[in-house]
Amino acid sequence: MGVTQSLVTVEPVHPGFDAAVLDDLGRRLSAVRLAPGSGTAWEQGVPRPWLTDLLADWQQFDTGAFQARLGQFAHFRAMVGGQPIHLVHQQGRGPAPLPLLLTHGWPGSFCEYLDLLPLLIDPGTHGGDPGDAFTVVAPSLPGFGFSGPPPAEGLTADAVAGLWHRLMTEGLGYPRYSAHGSDLGAGITARLARAHPDAMAGIHLATPGLVAPPRPWSPAEEAHFAQVDAWTGEEGGYAHLHSTKPATLGAALHDSPAGLAAWIGEKITAWSSTTADGQPAFPRDLLLGTLTLYWVTGTITSSLLPYWAYRHAPDAALLPGQPAPVPTAITIFGGEKVPFPKPPRELAERYFTVTTWAEYDCGGHFPAIAEPQLLAETLRDAFRPLRS
């Protein structure tokens, strides 16, 4: 590794959507050929009437307003060991803001955090205590959104955690920081705690996925892994494909906005909790913004690669038995349309030094979107004792 590759640089950027790509997207959306469809239920995947409505809304989507919303945040482009990384970086407003790294998952993006960010940065004007302020870093995973393509050597959670740590320390100058993650982001956050316990004030994980440890299992663990098996069988086909044939699937999803909308829309709908009026807690505009982000940046295929890397890299799984000493708060959110298996506390304790454990029947798989206030309070509470 040469000297230049070890440099970490961070420069402000104003990411936007390429107008020519948006025009082409509009043309494609007006010429979609739909499959005939098999009804209105979700039991075979996305129902045609639902997709038809979504595509009609996408054609009407105000991409300018969405870009203006993104433009309200401070964006940067970092180079870490030759890997380009896009990030939102907002200074906290308080006496001693604690740096907090937020890591999204699939099919998410940094946009998951748009509603959460003000609550974290500036608690004083959002019903909180300025002493709970965070300085927030919300990067786009390599191969996602405005970040560059992933490194050829793969995209394991360990590799991303390594990039994140250099970004936080060498790039942004935060020798001690906290981190939160969900979905793929929870796995990356967990590895940060393993690899850099001295730098981590603490971590918070939302509904982490944990591999089965060696037996014996507690009754709750037995029940959990039975649920995992059933969920994997019925709901895990997407991950099976991502981890084995990302290029084959990507050929279709990269070429068809309808295909992309079906693939991502099904998961966001299934994994979201539900609002009081029965709608997915993931707002329509944010779904359309997410689809546009994946489409315009051309990153759907590269976004599948973390699954492939996990399957193909030796030692990719987080192993139990040696919990990092980093204080770990875990929140189990619930209420997804299609429920995720929820790990019991004793399983998490095989992996983490669990200091706080909470379970809610709301929030779903995207708690930053569904319950930003609850998540902000959870993060404030979790990290308040760890600030010194």
Partner 1 sequence: MTAPTPPTSALVRPFTVSIPDSEIDDLKQRLARTRWPDPETVGDWSQGVRVENARSLAGYWERGYDWRRFESGLNRFPQFLTEIDGLDIHFIHVRSNNPNAMPLILTHGWPGSIVEFLKLIGPLTDPVSFGGDAADSFDVVVPSLPGFGFSQKPTETGWTVSRIARAWVELMKRLGYTRWAAQGGDWGAVVTTALGAMQPEGLLGIHLNTQYAFPAQIPDTLSPEQRYAVETLALYTGDLGGANHLQGTKPETVGFALADSPAGQAAWIYDKFQSKTDNHGLAEDALSIDDMLDAISLYWFTNSAASSGRIYWENKSATFAGPKLTLPVAVTVFPRDIPRLPRSWIEDTYSNLIHYGEADKGGHFAALEQPEILVSEIRTGLRTLRS
Where does this chain touch partner 1 (CB under 8 A) — which range of 47-55, 62-70, 179-187, 339-347?
47-55
- Our CB check for partner 1 shows the closer of 41 and 276 to be 41
Backbone angles phi, psi at 358, to 5 degrees: -140, 150
Q: Which of 140, 147, 297, 301 binds partner 1 (CB under 8 A)?
A: 301
Facing residues of 90 across strands? 136
Task: Identify residue 315 by its one-letter amino acid code.
Answer: D
| Binding residues among 68-127 for partner 1 as defined by CB under 8 A | none
Q: Which of 7, 39, 126, 275 binds partner 1 (CB under 8 A)?
A: 39
- Our CB check for partner 1 shows the closer of 37 and 124 to be 37
**233 is an interface residue for partner 1 by CB under 8 A:** yes
- Our CB check for partner 1 shows the closer of 196 and 254 to be 254
| Cα–Cα distance measured from residue 388 to residue 385, given in angstroms and rounded to the nearest whole number | 7
Q: Which of 236, 283, 320, 339 binds partner 1 (CB under 8 A)?
A: 236
Q: Which of 91, 169, 227, 256 binds partner 1 (CB under 8 A)?
A: 256
Closest among 267, 262, 289 to 365, alpha carbons compared: 267
- Our CB check for partner 1 shows the closer of 13 and 252 to be 252
How many CB atoms are closer than 10 A to CB 118?
A: 18
Tokens of residue 273, six digits: 């909790």
Tokens 């798989």, residue located: 365
- Our CB check for partner 1 shows the closer of 15 and 150 to be 150
- Our CB check for partner 1 shows the closer of 222 and 234 to be 234
**214 is an interface residue for partner 1 by CB under 8 A:** no
Where does this chain touch partner 1 (CB under 8 A) — which range of 56-64, 188-196, 228-236, 286-294?
228-236
DSSP conformation class of 386: G
Q: Interhelix angle for 257-271 vs 284-297, to 10°?
A: 140
Closest among 194, 163, 220 to 345, alpha carbons compared: 220
Closest among 74, 61, 55 to 15, alpha carbons compared: 74
Q: What is the DSSP string of 191-235?
A: HHHHH-TTTEEEEEEES---PPPSSP--HHHHHHHHHHHHHHHHH
Where does this chain touch partner 1 (CB under 8 A) — which range of 95-103, 202-210, 239-247, 376-384?
239-247
- Our CB check for partner 1 shows the closer of 213 and 236 to be 236
Q: Which of 66, 73, 263, 294 binds partner 1 (CB under 8 A)?
A: 263
Task: State the binding string over 306-345 for partner 1 (x if CB under 8 A, else -).
Answer: --x---x---------------------------------
Tokens 């940046």, residue located: 297
Task: Identify residue 40 by its one-letter amino acid code.
Answer: T
* Separate counts of helices (H) and strands (E) for the chain: 17, 9
Where does this chain touch partner 1 (CB under 8 A) — which range of 30-38, 89-97, 162-170, 212-220?
30-38
Tokens of residue 199, six digits: 């730098």
Site residues for partner 1 per CB under 8 A: 24, 28, 32-39, 44-48, 51, 149-150, 152, 154, 233-238, 240-241, 243-263, 266, 298, 300-302, 305, 308, 312
